Structure 1
Amino acid sequence: MLKKFFYSQKIAPYVFILPFVITVLLFWVAPISNGVLLSFQDVLKDEWVGTKNYSRLLSDKNFFKAIFNSVKYMIGTLVLLIPFPMLFASLLNSKLMKRSGLFKSIYFLPALTSVVVAGTIFRLMFGEASSSLANQVIGLFGASPIKWLKGVNTSYFALLLIACWRWTGVNILYFLAGLQSIPTDLYEAASIDGASKWQQFKKISVPLIKPTTVYVLTISIYAGLSMFLESYMVFKGNNSPNNIGLTIVGYLYRQGIEKRAMGYACAVGLILLVVVMLINLVQLKITGTFDKEEK
């Protein structure tokens, strides 16, 4: 009877998707539901506070600064980590490029490096001493040493540099996979018609790798808004000068772990979830992804 049950054509599909459903319920639906409930409570006092945690968010300047820093960081990574990896991938995909496999390995290597190690190295690179690498470089041009991690723009530059160093190679591989799925006949026909390499890239490559671009854009938005460990390691903790390195996840960590205000931290986490979803829904609508699905 049991064998007949599992071999049934009506039951089998549900058996196959059961592990996925259980995973979603245990690791997605349950934590979010629990987080929603906790966001209306004061966990330490074990009492229901209603919308008090959300009202507190609206009057907390550090919360809005954390959102501003995260959005600013996300925009910077989108500007740098989409067009440039796309161009580099096109160069690697070119027939004129020799030893492309070696370059792929070199570009991807930083992604294998621990964030802790990378953050520590970059903190030393952008140190205040005149002997730090960044100050030595600007010293070659006659500039005085800079306190890189105490300035808004200079610390922002340092964080973006880490992002570019770690993720350029990953995005190159994404775009390279998309480019290699394009039939070479299209490029040959365009070349016969007299199209230049730039025209081929603009009129053939960019439109046909749109699904890859949308995917990279989506994960980059999430990665930008959820950045925390890089900032934590660069500033040697979660307390940067004037909160110039405070991100929304760092603010959540400060409230939930450091101050043990779990209810308030859950409210912050839910706001982050809503912000990420809204931004991604807007970009999916702008890029026409929803329209294609409707058709």
Structure 2
Amino acid sequence: MIKKFLYSQKVAPYVFVLPFILVFLVFWVLPLGSSFGMSFQKIQLGQEADWIGLANYEKLMGDGIFLKAVMNSAIYMLLTLLILIPFPMLFAVLINNKFMWGREFFKSSFFFPALTSVVVAGTIFRLMFGEMEGSLINSILGWFGVEPVKFLKGQVTGFIALVALATWRWTGVNMLYFLSGLKNIPDDYYEAASIDGASAFQKFTKITMPLLKPTTIYVITISIYAGLAMFIESMMLWNGNNSPKNIGLTIVGYLYRQGIEKNNLGYAAAVGIVLLAITMIINLTQLKLSGMFKKED
């Protein structure tokens, strides 16, 4: 009876999706619901939770440090989008060219940084962008007569180091996404365009970019989330969660500060809910503008 039930054509689809549904409920819906409830309470370890309503959210809106963290995360997200979308796409197109030599070498070289631990990468970049004259970047600047720069003590220079780390780590990953998308574009389209006299630029703008739209939207979506959720890179670059004047503080960093360092779990939960709301609003907006929610004819 049970075997007949499981092998039923009506039941089988639900059996296959059941593991995903269970994982989704246990590791996403339940924690989200719990966090949402916590955000309306004052919770500290060792003390009884108190219901305080919207007090945590009202406090957030007037919290200058939180607003600074939101601005830092937004700037970081925008900068990484401006770099980690067009350049990986360009590199993917170049490597995918049939006349390109050593393509496997370049694929491996670009992807290798993603295999490096973020702790190791952050430590290396902290040393590279150190304020001492002998640090790598300052040594290079010294060749051009530029005085040593205290990169990690300034807002602009700090973001240069942070974005450089992100670019080094994630360019190869996004490039592989675009390479997989390029594999789905038939060569016949390019051959027909060549017969019609289309230039390489015209092929890229009229064939490659439109047909890469689904891949591009996917990369943008995950890049928005990654940009707003960035934390470990900043923590390793500044060797802690307390950068000078909070120039490297992110939303997740502020959540960690409130929840772990200050034992203010209810307030930290409110920060997490706001982060989720910001991420969802931005992603749903860009998906709407890109036409992903339009009904197909």
Task: Identify the residue that residue 25 of structure 1 maps to in structure 2.
Answer: 25
| C-alpha deviation, 1:189, in angstroms | 1.1
Within 5 Å, give how 1:28-67 maps onto structure 2. 28-44=28-44, 45-67=48-70
1:220 paired with 2:227, answer no
Within 5 Å, give how 1:54-203 maps onto structure 2. 54-203=57-206
Structure 1 stretches lacking a partner, 5+ long: none
Superimposed CA distance per residue, residues 191-234 of structure 1 (whole angstroms, 9 cap, x where no aligned partner): 11111111111111001100000000000000000000000000
Partner Cα distance (2:17, 2:172) in 1: 34
Partner Cα distance (1:198, 1:242) in 2: 45
Superimposed CA distance per residue, residues 141-164 of structure 1 (whole angstroms, 9 cap, x where no aligned partner): 001001110011101000000011
Partner Cα distance (1:46, 1:177) in 2: 50
Superimposed CA distance per residue, residues 119-176 of structure 1 (whole angstroms, 9 cap, x where no aligned partner): 0000000111100001001001001001110011101000000011000011111111
Greater alpha carbon shift after TM alignment, 239-248 vs 185-194: 185-194
For residue 231 of structure 1, what is the amino acid of its counterpart? S
Task: Identify the residue that residue 260 of structure 1 maps to in structure 2.
Answer: 263
Q: Which residue, out of 270, 278, 282, partners 1:279?
A: 282
Q: Which residue, out of 209, 233, 257, partners 1:230?
A: 233
Greater alpha carbon shift after TM alignment, 208-217 vs 194-203: 194-203
Task: Identify the residue that residue 15 of structure 2 maps to in structure 1.
Answer: 15
Structure 2 stretches lacking a partner, 5+ long: none
| C-alpha deviation, 1:294, in angstroms | 5.6
| C-alpha deviation, 1:28, in angstroms | 0.8
Superimposed CA distance per residue, residues 8-66 of structure 1 (whole angstroms, 9 cap, x where no aligned partner): 33322222221111111101110000001100111124111111111110110000000
1:2 paired with 2:2, answer yes
TM-score by length of 2: 0.97
Superimposed CA distance per residue, residues 251-281 of structure 1 (whole angstroms, 9 cap, x where no aligned partner): 0000001001000000000000000000001
Q: Tell me how large the CA RMSD over aligned residues is.
A: 1.0
Identity %: 62
CA 1:134/1:266 → structure 2, altered by over 3 Å: closer, same or farther? same
Partner Cα distance (1:195, 1:9) in 2: 51
Partner Cα distance (2:192, 2:9) in 1: 48
For residue 130 of structure 1, what is the amino acid of its counterpart? E
Partner Cα distance (2:140, 2:200) in 1: 36
Partner Cα distance (2:253, 2:261) in 1: 10
Partner Cα distance (1:262, 1:13) in 2: 40
Partner Cα distance (1:16, 1:98) in 2: 44
Secondary structure, aligned partner of 1:223: helix
Runs of 4+ in 1 over 6 A off after TM superposition: none
Partner Cα distance (2:145, 2:224) in 1: 38
Partner Cα distance (1:207, 1:112) in 2: 31
Secondary structure, aligned partner of 2:77: helix
Secondary structure, aligned partner of 1:290: coil
TM-score by length of 1: 0.98
For residue 92 of structure 1, what is the amino acid of its counterpart? I
Secondary structure, aligned partner of 1:289: coil
